[in-house]
Chains A and B, each alone.
Chain A
Amino acid sequence: MDIFLQQIINGLVQGSIYALVALGYTMVYGIMGLINFAHGEVVMIGTLVTITVAGTLIKAGMPVVFAGLAGVSTSVLVCVALGWGLERIAYRPLRNAPRLTPLITAIGMSIVLQNLAMMIWGRNYLTFPSLLPKINFEVAGAHFTAIQVIIVVLSAATMGGLLALIYRTRLGMAMRATAQNPAVASLMGVNINRVIAAAFVIGSALGALAGVMVGTYYEIAHYQMGFMLGLKAFTAAVLGGIGNLAGAMLGGVLLGIIEALGAGYIGDLTGGFLGSHYQDIFAFIVLIVVLMFKPSGLFGEKTGDRA
């Protein structure tokens, strides 16, 4: 039972991170129907910028709290600028292009960002500076750390804030209207360009936060880390029903927990035949099974039928 609880906790932490990244995918998808493959790279750059800024400041003798805050805010700023720039330079000119065209652009940008990051930060694994004290708790036989609690609480708070933004403000209303029908929304006086830019900016800011969390949690970062993370987050977004905010959040958490439980129990379930290195398979198998029975995800609406 304590293993079960432990895996639930681990899954919850990982899932919160997936959820934050998934929101970036789902917002952009909901509004413009584009899989922004470069989003994982934005998250990666968020992590690496934090390492550089916070690491340098800590070395210069600044208290860890301030160095950490400076690192996080710089990384959010950089990622926001990056997200805005991506939309402005790469995707906006393609708004009326065939559907697969922006997808290839996104892949191209992902390659560009990954290699830029490699030029700046090098090929090696970097250590993430420890920004939070290491405190351990034990409840009912399951161990968890202060970092894990903070990650879960902070991402829950961020998601709450996002929901408030989308459902309570004028910008949020404009975003929902654009997602439903861009042409009609623009006739009602919504500035489509601003709304799309906002989706990219908000998604990138969330991505930067997720990047910092990944860094603090695993204490290690690398220029290729964005790819798999982005893939999982995108899977989470689809699991929940892509384009649906609550779906992305629940999909993220669900995926994290499924993966953790899968990794914990696969050995027992198959009598030792399959080990925990099959962890990644779980995410995809669950995805395929869910989509077989609910073809537009757990909470999704119907989407277009063209490739």
Chain B
Amino acid sequence: MKKWLNPRSAFGIALISVALVALPFVAAMGGQAWVRILDFAILYVFLALGLNIVVGFAGLLDLGYIAFYAVGAYAWALLASPHFGIHWPIWAILPIGAGLACIAGVLLGSPTLKLRGDYLAIVTLGFGEIVRIFMNNLNAPINVTNGPQGITLIDPVMIGGFKFSGNTTLFGLTLSGPQKYYFLLVALAILVIIINLRLQNSRIGRAWQAIREDEIAAKAVGINTRNIKLLAFAMGASFGGIAGGVFAAMQGFVSPESFSLMESIMILAMVVLGGMGHIPGVILGAVLLSVLPEALRYGVGPAQTALFGKQLVDPESLRMLVFGLALVLVMRFKPAGLWPSPERKRELAEKKA
């Protein structure tokens, strides 16, 4: 903790805090849509940091991470909506969602402990698909998830009578729904970042790193690889579950469509593109990859009109094309990610020499 007290980092932290507070107001000038994009960027930071525990710290390639997000989202949706007529408070649902996701993580983790590398990847992928298929089809014979239509009219976050949807005026300042969620998300994200930082340098964090580098050696020095791996799955999953709950409340609507394999892959791309295992890198990756497609949505259409005088190709597919190319190019020129940890950079440099 000593590092935090030196004046330079204190100044940096102050600067970042001011920027974080000002951001939603600046974004609001471009319309509430941008504030919402910002909200999602932070939600993805949250998710990417959760996945970073599993993939970045412990080195377990998980392609079904979105399943835990889905479990959290559906837990919130079912316990706080007219679907079953249950309206529990956040203090009950969020822990339940995180707990269920955690159980799902252990459930996925325990049979796959023996698997390595890409075999683990495909099993987690399959698990994610199984969860999604069940959500899509559990509307008969008993209607649990309402099938492909999803669940609507989900309660927003309420903390002690303070509602996070709609406008509120505080000290003469009008805050919109997305702006209020922004501050909630930032608070949660900071909490997750602190947990991540503390974990990284803890006994557990070092054990994860040992397993990542060499599982047999880790076992030989007395690390209980089974429990430590399960812990990585469980912790990553719980973060996913909490993010899912906030997502459901923020959207007011969940459907299986939001939890496709492509989402899992996107979160993995955020972790890898940013710099696997390096917390600032992962944050950067998550912000970039969640904002870029949206920015392209607003940029691609007008750019075409300006260049050619008309819309040559469907802007929607052009936007995704550019996005795909960006992924390829970043990996081509920055194979270790945009902001890799110093240790990893050194390892790669040594390898080349």
* A interface, CB within 8 angstroms of B: 29, 33, 35, 90, 93-94, 96-98, 100-105, 107-112, 114-116, 118-119, 231, 234-235, 238, 242, 272-275, 277-278, 280-281, 283-285, 287-288, 291-292, 295-297, 303-307
Provide the B316-346 mask, 1 if CB < 8 A to any CB of A, else 0. Answer: 0110110111111001100110000000100
- Chain B 301-324 residues near chain A, CB threshold 8 A: 313-314, 317-318, 320-321, 323-324
Once the chains bind, are B331 and A235 in contact (CB under 8 Å)?
no
Q: A235-B122, A295-B114 are in contact. Are A306 and B59 (CB under 8 A)?
A: yes
What are the residues of chain A within 8 A of B332 when measuring CB–CB? Answer: 90, 93-94, 105
- Nearest neighbor of B269 in chain A, beta-carbon distance: A104
In the bound complex, residues from chain B placing their C-beta under 8 Å from that of A115 are 317-318, 320-321, 324
The reply to whether B324 and A100 contact each other, CB–CB distance below 8 Å, is: no
Contacts A98-B348, A103-B272, A238-B122; A303 near B116 (Cβ below 8 A): yes
Contact A291/B115 with A98-B335, A105-B328, A110-B324 known, Cβ cut-off 8 Å? yes
Q: Given A100-B61, A105-B331, A115-B320 in contact, is the A288-B127 Cβ separation under 8 Å? A: yes
Check B321 against A104 for contact (C-beta < 8 Å). no
Collect the chain A residues with CB atoms within 8 Å of residue B30's CB. none
Q: A238-B119, A306-B117 are contacts. A108–B328 as well, Cβ < 8 Å?
A: yes
- Residues of B104-122 at the interface with A, using a CB-CB cut-off of 8 Å, are 111-112, 114-122
* B122 lies within 8 A of A307 (CB): no
Select the stretch in B72-80, B129-137, B162-170, B244-252 that faces chain A: B129-137
Query: A105–B215 Cα gap in the complex (Å)?
Result: 27
Say yes or no: is B154 at the interface (Cβ < 8 Å to chain A): no
- Which residues of A sit under 8 angstroms from B121, Cβ to Cβ? 35, 307
Residues 18-65 of B at the A interface (beta carbon under 8 Å): 55, 59-61
A100 neighbours in B (Cβ, 8 Å): 55, 61, 268, 272, 276
- B325: which of A108, A278, A283, A287 is its contact (CB, 8 Å)? A108
Question: Across the interface, which residues of B come within 8 angstroms of A292, CB to CB?
Answer: 111-112, 114
- Contact of A231 with B261 in the complex, beta carbons under 8 Å: yes
Nearest 8 CB-CB pairs, A to B? Answer: A108-B327, A111-B324, A284-B126, A97-B335, A307-B61, A112-B324, A108-B328, A305-B116
A33: chain B residues at CB < 8 Å are 118
24 pairs from A and B in contact (CB 8 Å cutoff): A35-B121, A100-B268, A101-B335, A103-B272, A108-B328, A109-B328, A111-B321, A119-B321, A231-B125, A235-B122, A274-B137, A280-B133, A281-B129, A287-B126, A288-B127, A292-B111, A295-B114, A295-B115, A296-B119, A304-B117, A305-B116, A305-B214, A307-B55, A307-B212
Q: Name 12 extra pairs, CB < 8 A, besides A29-B118, A307-B212.
A: A90-B328, A97-B331, A107-B265, A108-B327, A112-B321, A116-B321, A278-B133, A284-B126, A287-B126, A305-B117, A306-B212, A307-B121
For A29, A33, A115, A235, which residue has the most chain B Cβ atoms within 10 angstroms? Answer: A115
Assess whether A104 is in contact with B116, with CB atoms less than 8 Å apart.
no
Pick from A104, A119, A285, A307: contact of B130, CB under 8 Å:
A285
Question: Among A29, A90, A98, A303, which residue has its beta carbon within 8 angstroms of that of B276?
Answer: A98
**Any A CB within 8 A of the CB of B243:** no
Main secondary structure of the interface of B (DSSP, over half): helix
Q: Is the CB of B122 within 8 A of A287?
A: yes
Asked if B8 CB lies within 8 Å of chain A CBs, one says no
Do the beta carbons of A96 and B352 come within 8 Å of each other? yes
Are A35 and B118 in contact, with the CB atoms below 8 A? yes
CB A203 to nearest CB in B, in angstroms, measures 17
Nearest-Cβ distance from residue B35 to partner chain A, whole angstroms: 27
A284 to B131, CA, bound (A): 11
Residue in chain B with minimal CB distance to A297: B119
Contact B327 A307 (CB under 8 A): no
Would A291 and B321 be within 8 Å (CB), given that A108-B327, A303-B117 are in contact?
A: no
**What's the least CB distance linking B170 to chain A, in Å?**
42
* B117 and A291 within 8 A (CB): no
Q: Is B286 an interface residue (CB 8 A)?
A: no
- Decide: A108 and B331 in contact? CB cutoff 8 A: yes
A234 touches B122 (CB 8 A): yes
User: Known contacts being A118-B317, A280-B129, is A112 close to B328, with CB within 8 Å?
Assistant: yes
A114 to B321, CA, bound (A): 8
| Alpha-carbon separation in the docked complex, A104 to B214 (Å) | 23
Nearest-CB residue, chain B, relative to A286: B126
- Cα distance A253–B55 when bound, in Å? 32
User: A111-B321, A116-B321, A234-B122 given as contacts; is B327 within 8 A of A104 (CB)?
Assistant: yes
Q: Does B3 contact A (CB under 8 A)?
A: no
